[in-house]
Structure 1
Amino acid sequence: MTQNGWKELGLIAGLVVIAAFVPIMTDGYWLTIAVTAMMYIALATAWTLFSGPTHYISLATGAFFGVGGYLVATGMSDHDISFWTMAAVAPLVAVALAALVGAATLRLSGIYFVIFTLGLAEMIRGLVSWVQNNFLGSRGLYVLTDFTEAHIYWMLLGVAAIVYLIGWLIERSKLGFALKIIGNDEGVAKHLGINTAAAKVMLFMITGYFTALVGVIIAPRYSYIEPNLVFSPELSFMVVIMALLGGTQRLWGPIIGVIPFILLWETITVSFPYSTTLFLGLSFLLIVYFIPNGVVGLIEKFWKRRDA
């Protein structure tokens, strides 16, 4: 284990401790913003865990998030199952879905994976809506708990910290080494005897688990759950944009990307509510064109020039 690796982990641990005091130091509007930011930090970190080393652009975040949110609502509303039981079960369903999607698409070239994951959330949303309207009747699904915004924030912070720790450990494992080779040249990885499909599917399943868990935790914040709310393709694009803005070559990159983007997003939403889609598209184009390696890439480039 390198000294820099321990320093990185120590710095993140310090940030987690500081972040834990946010609900104590603020409330109201700014706590709401903090919960939203922490949700996207957890989602973007889970996304980077898979897409960072493999360079596969996944747009399945909305699908896994929706599975978590919708299942916890169904279990609590229709079957009177406790929130904690559903929190244990729902992410496992997302893992099974990730294994199925990964096995079907990750053996193919990246573009097929992107196209399939783009339509996955819409496909599931349409299927769930059709089943609900035609067989279950139009009734609301409610997730009623005694959680406050502070409770949700702390749970999301815990998920983000665990995802980061898992990613930190994977980076220093044989799986992490294999994934780096896959990301650089998948053909070389196959010639070296690496089971590229198994490595990618395994990491995709981990990402699916934690993305669904975030959906479970956020569900009590919405209270009323419907397919159009939780299976949102916009969510997938926002996560990708935030991760790219921060930089995917480092697992802590999303932290840098999420916070400024969320503040700007809130401003756009309030001031220009009908221009949010345009803002997303422009953001993606500007990031890809001007800072393809994200803010992390700019920082590393600066330090290399400084040391030269």
Structure 2
Amino acid sequence: MNQSTLRWLLVLAVYGVLAWVPALPDAGGWLSLIVPMTMYIALATSWALFSGPTHYISLATAAFYGVGTYILAMGIEAVPYPLLLLIAALAGAVLAALVGWATLRLSGVYFVIFTLGLAELIRQVVTWLQNNFGGSRGKYVFTDITEAHIYWQLLALTLIVFFVGWLIQRSRLGFAIRIIGGDETVAKHSGIHVAGAKIALFMVSGAVAAVVGAILAPRFVYIEPAMAFNPQLSFMVAIMALLGGLHRLWGPLMGAIPFALVWEFIAANFPEQTTLLMGLAFLAVVFYIPNGIAGVMESWHRKLRANQEVDHG
């Protein structure tokens, strides 16, 4: 049995333990904390799959998430729930493909600017449509889906995201995207379809974010545009991924868990200062731990091994 197989068996064992969280005493309190955390792990990891190797900072997470949320809200009374999740994934992937086709062939700065405004653009369109044709600005979501069901779905989704990321890293697409991240000119001269590779990876990120939005919709009961397309989500996901580190698949996990816990405390105690504190957190991550927690841990590990080799020498 090789090391990779052992690692995946360990991961599956951990997931098996986590699946029992809804059976704990005071499960409602645990789930209210761990559901958002699991959501952020899925979003930050899928975000890093694209932004890590390409170095393109995407701020479109809220747009994909909101699209998935509204697909679930509009179709829950007429379409089977599993089919709605599939539709949300396809819609997120198609939207990402359109955005990528329009921006990823250009300089990275155009991509960042466009993704920053995408959620607001879609929010305004949805608001206008609902005000003029829907009769109300929001949608009610009545289902028998419980908090435990949502948690189990998010847990399964994070496992799928990690597995897809593992496959991508070992595929020709992963190899191509690493060359693109190093130097796009070299990648083009190597025969790599640069735009196509970036769009394909961006579609994975968009599909995951849309499915997360669809899964979370029943948790809020009432969906309205300002909540579904909240730009704060895009920045939080980016900060979590950067905090954890982008050069390792498990890096965003190391950032999502502590930041989600800290953010719960901040939102509860300093609700008027969240935007300011988020900006300060972003600056602190960029200036003080640019390689993230994963980078710091690997640096410590290298120093420890070097010291051990010196001692043995």
TM range (shorter): over 0.9
Deviations 1:147-188 (A, max 9, x none): 111110010010110011011011011111111111111111
Match of 2:237 in 1: 239
Which one of 90, 93, 116 corresponds to residue 91 of structure 2?
A: 93
Alpha-carbon shift at residue 7 of structure 1 (Å): 4.7
Q: Output one character per residue of 1:219-276: Cα deviation in whole Å (capped at 9) or x when no partner.
A: 0001111111111100000000011111111111111111111111111111111111
Q: 1:5–1:111: structure 2 CA closer, same or farther, 3 Å change rule?
A: farther
Q: Which 4+ stretches in 1 moved above 6 angstroms?
A: none
SS of residue paired to 1:221: helix
Look up the match of 1:20. 19
* Matches for 1:224-235 after TM superposition, within 5 Å: 224-235=222-233
Where 2:268 maps in the other structure, the secondary structure is helix
For residues 199-278 of structure 1, the aligned pairs below 5 Å read: 199-278=197-276
Aligned to 2:292, which of 276, 294, 302? 294
CA contact (8 A) 2:240 2:256 kept: yes
Q: Find the aligned partners of 1:206 and 1:139 in 2 and give their Cα distance.
A: 30
**Equivalent-residue separation in structure 1 for 2:8 and 2:107 (angstroms):** 34
Which has more radius of gyration?
A: 2
Q: 1:5 to 1:52 in 2, by over 3 A?
A: farther
State the shift of 1:85 in Å: 2.6
Q: Which residue of 1 aligns with 2:30?
A: 30
TM-score by length of 1: 0.95
Normalising by structure 2, report the TM-score: 0.93
CA RMSD of aligned residues (A): 1.6
Residue pair 1:76, 1:142 contacting (<8 A) in 2 also: no
For 2:9 and 2:82, locate their aligned partners in 1 and report how far apart those are by CA, in whole Å: 31
Summarize the alignment of residues 119-268 of structure 1 with structure 2, pairs less than 5 Å apart.
Answer: 119-138=117-136, 140-268=138-266
Work out which of the residue numbers 281, 284, 293 in structure 1 matches 2:282: 284
1:70 aligns to 2:67 (yes or no) = no
For 2:102 and 2:149, the matched residues in 1 are separated by 38
Counterpart of 2:46, as a letter, is A
Cα distance change, pair 59–8 in 1 and its aligned pair in 2 (3 A): farther
1:68–1:91 CA contact under 8 A, matched in 2 = yes
Q: Distance in 2 between matches of 1:250 and 1:121?
A: 28
Deviation at 1:76, TM superposition (A): 2.6
**Contact 2:127–2:137 (8 Å) recurs in 1:** no
Matches of 1:284 and 1:69 in 2, distance apart?
27
In the alignment, is the contact (CA less than 8 A) between 2:22 and 2:28 conserved in 1? no
CA distance in 1, matches of 2:208, 2:61: 10
Q: Report deviation, 1:139.
A: 5.4
Secondary structure, counterpart of 2:105 in structure 1: coil
Amino acid aligned to 1:174: R
Classify 1:213/1:227 alpha carbon distance in 2 versus 1 (closer, same or farther; 3 Å): same
CA distance in structure 1 between the aligned counterparts of 2:190 and 2:6, rounded to whole angstroms? 32
**Which stretches in structure 1 are left out of the alignment for 5+ residues?**
none
- Percent identity, aligned pairs only, is 57
What is the DSSP-based 3-state SS (H/G/I as helix, E as strand, rest coil) of the residue aligned with 2:248?
A: coil
For structure 2, the residue ranges without an aligned partner over 5 or more in a row are 307-313
The CA distance in 2 between the partners of 1:304 and 1:11, in whole Å, is 24
Could you tell me whether the CA contact under 8 Å between 2:137 and 2:225 is conserved in 1?
no
